[in-house]
Amino acid sequence: MRVVGTVALLCTLAVPVRAVEIPPAERRSGYEFMSRETRAMQDDDAANPAMLWVLEGEALWARTAGAGERACRDCHGDARSSMKGVAARYPAFDATRGRPVNLEQRVNACRTERQKAPALAYQSRELLALTAYLGRQSRGLPIDIATDARMKPFLDAGRAAFNRRQGQLDLSCAQCHDDHWDKRLAGNAITQAHPNGYPLYRLEWQGLGSLQRRMRNCMAGIRALAPEYGSAEFVDLELFLAWRARGMKMETPAVRP
């Protein structure tokens, strides 16, 4: 009994210390941690492999889909003007659902409700292509999510998730990406984990991937159970990351090691 009491007391003492958020002046995109060669790949559209998905997205934008026999373009017109800055505002509040949705969910809402077409699966080539094309229309623009009262509980939930220790290795996102972003994990820069380039081409993947795919990689690394793709919990975390990177310029489609 005495031992149980001692263990319980230690548990309450072992609450993790809250990480300190990175001041705006010290925020650095993942781009700044990359080699000159990888930067050059992102900077040159002809060398950036992610541009293949952007081109495919452009074609999908104009292609009729579903029983509604409508293309994205039929309602939204030329994405180069109508979609300028849109991706930089996601996750955004969706009044129907009463919660924020990410860009993938917004595309799928349009597909199922307007086009009467089946939703696209996470990590499907089509959804990556469309979100890459949409993200491309915000390239160079600052991340600008809404942070009104409706968003606050979801932002708070995302912040709590970012700061929560998890997995067998018992690490929070913040312990690496707020507290040790200037260090190296084995040979690799840890970085600040900003979401300003997604979907992006990761050399390790040899393909394009979403922010949620990247977060799942991190969670696998700390041996944690990752939430399902598209789960509310993941969107809240995306929202917090976007808030944390507010004002940073979008690089979609970025290249990362």
Partner 1 sequence: MRGVLVGAAMCVAANAVAADSIPESLTGARGDPVRGRAIIVNRHLGLCLLCHSGPFEEQRFQGDLAPDLKGAGARLSEGQLRLRIVDNSRVNSATIMPAYYRTARLARVAPAYQGKTVLSSEQVEDVVAFLSTLRD
Positions annotated as catalytic residues are: 218
For 235, the token pair is 């969107």
For partner 1, the closer CB: 47 or 169: 169
Whose tokens are 């160079």? That residue is: 140
Report, in Å, the least distance between residue 226 CB and partner 1: 8
For partner 1, the closer CB: 14 or 149: 14
For partner 1, the closer CB: 2 or 36: 2
Pairing between strand 255-256 and 200-202? parallel
Report, in Å, the least distance between residue 235 CB and partner 1: 17
For partner 1, the closer CB: 65 or 235: 235
Cross-strand pairs, 92: 101
Q: How far apart are CA 147 and CA 212, in angstroms?
A: 21
Q: How far apart are CA 209 and CA 212, in angstroms?
A: 8
Cβ contacts of 188 within 8 Å, gap of 6 or more: 257
For partner 1, the closer CB: 121 or 185: 185
Picking from 66, 62, 107, the residue whose alpha carbon sits closest to that of residue 80 is 62
Picking from 73, 98, 94, the residue whose alpha carbon sits closest to that of residue 83 is 73
| DSSP 8-state class, residue 257 | -
Residues that bind partner 1 (CB under 8 A): 3, 6-7, 10-11, 13-17, 164-171, 175-176, 179-180, 183-188, 190, 219-220, 223-226
Report, in Å, the least distance between residue 15 CB and partner 1: 7
Report, in Å, the least distance between residue 225 CB and partner 1: 5
Report, in Å, the least distance between residue 100 CB and partner 1: 22
Q: How far apart are CA 43 and CA 197, in angstroms?
A: 12
For 129, the token pair is 């292509």
